[in-house]
Amino acid sequence: MNLGEMFRGRLDIVSGLILGLSLALVPGAAPAQEAEATPASGKAAAAAGEAAQAAPAYTPLGPEMIKGQPEPGGWWFQPQHNEIGRDALFMHDAILLPVIAAVSLAVLFLLIWVMARYNKRANPVPSRTSHNTLLEVLWTGLPILILVGIAVPSVNLLLKQYESPPEDALTVKVTGYQWYWGYTYSDNGGFEVISNMLKERDEVNAGERFRTDADGPEQLAADNRMVVPVGVPIRVQTIGADVIHSFAVPSLWFKIDAVPGRLNEHVMTIDEPGIYFGQCSELCGARHGYMPIAIEAVPMEQFEAWVLSQGGTLGEEEPAAAPAAEPAGEAAPAESAGEA
Ligand SMILES: [Cu+2]
């Protein structure tokens, strides 16, 4: 690392600290964003009414469409709903687990055999054998073969999970906030949907929305879901607005960190319409356990109707709108790098 890089690194840290401080010094910032969600969805409802005449109306999927959620007493992986998930689950169930079980049983058998057959009582006169070339070649070669046999499909699977999305993939930027999620539809006019956990009936003030069974299970249901089209690749970009969060949905086989100042990317393709639940999976503060993820995959026409109901655009009519929606925090490190 040369001096210039060191200096730049320092500046990044300083600008990060300033950003953190300014966030901490604006106590109203987070609740204000939460409060904004209500009028926005009200506006959206009005827009949905207008859109209903022109385009096919969007209706949220009902609880019968929940496909990815934990089950009471569940101890295995959730059923997978895309190709990578199925491949990875096959790797675990059909390759890794049998190999682990076979190796463990073989070692257990050897231990018991040695204890029973070669103890002092069974062998009053000890053997003076110290080498056995065949055995030594076997117990070195066999594990190497097993490891290579595991490594080849394993690395292939890993590479597949890091594949870049195709150029025409739909981009959704997921921002982790303390303690809710924001979904920005960069290809659809750059609007952001704020998603908060729905509280129970006895936890809300009069008139506030509370969770019903139509929304999903307790602690997983969200007021606004991340709506995406089914069957097409989606470029999921994750970033943290304050601390590190992690965007994870077990039934879609991904867990991507949402790190402040860094954009992570993952291609998500969902096979069939449905609701898939997940949770923030990086300890991010006091309400870390209360920022569920609810992804709703719908056919393309339904998705487009939903986009219009949110005030978004279809296609790339307004690419200029996207940069304006970027949070100011991202610009800070670039500026300081320029100064250095
Ligand atoms: Cu979090």
Give per-residue pLDDT as tens, 147-200.
Answer: 999 999 999 999 999 899 999 999 999 999 999 999 999 999 999 999 999 999
Tell how far the Cα of 112 is from the centroid of ligand 1, in angstroms. 48
299 with 196, same domain: the answer is yes
Look at residue 73 and tell me if it is in a domain.
no
Per-residue model confidence (pLDDT) at position 307: 95
Please state whether the predicted TM-score (pTM) of the whole model is above 0.85: no
Residue ranges in the chain modelled with pLDDT below 70: 1-56, 316-340
CATH of the domain at 181: 2.60.40.420
How many A from CA of 245 to the centre of ligand 1? 4
Q: Give residue 261 CA to ligand 1 midpoint distance, Å.
A: 15
Q: Is residue 176 part of a domain?
A: yes
* Cβ neighbours, 10 Å, residue 96: 14
Cα(283) to ligand 1 centroid in Å equals 6
DSSP 94: I
> Residues 301, 189: one domain?
yes
Q: Please count the structural domains in the chain.
A: 2
Same domain for 101 and 37? Answer: no
My answer on whether 146 and 221 are in the same domain is no
**What pLDDT is attached to residue 7?**
44
151 plus 182 within the same structural domain: no
Residue 124 pLDDT: 86
Q: Are residues 242 and 111 in the same domain?
A: no
Q: How far does the centroid of ligand 1 lie from the alpha carbon of residue 203, in Å?
A: 21
Q: Count CB neighbours of 33 within 10 A.
A: 16
Contacts of 322-331 spanning 24+ positions with Cβ under 8 A: 322/186, 322/189, 322/190, 324/190, 325/184, 325/186, 325/190, 325/191, 325/192, 327/175, 327/241, 329/19, 329/241, 329/260, 329/261, 330/239, 330/261
Same domain (yes/no): 303, 154: no
Boundaries of domain holding 182? 33-66+169-339
- The closest alpha carbon to 56, from 302, 296, 274, belongs to 302
Residues 320 and 222 in one domain: yes
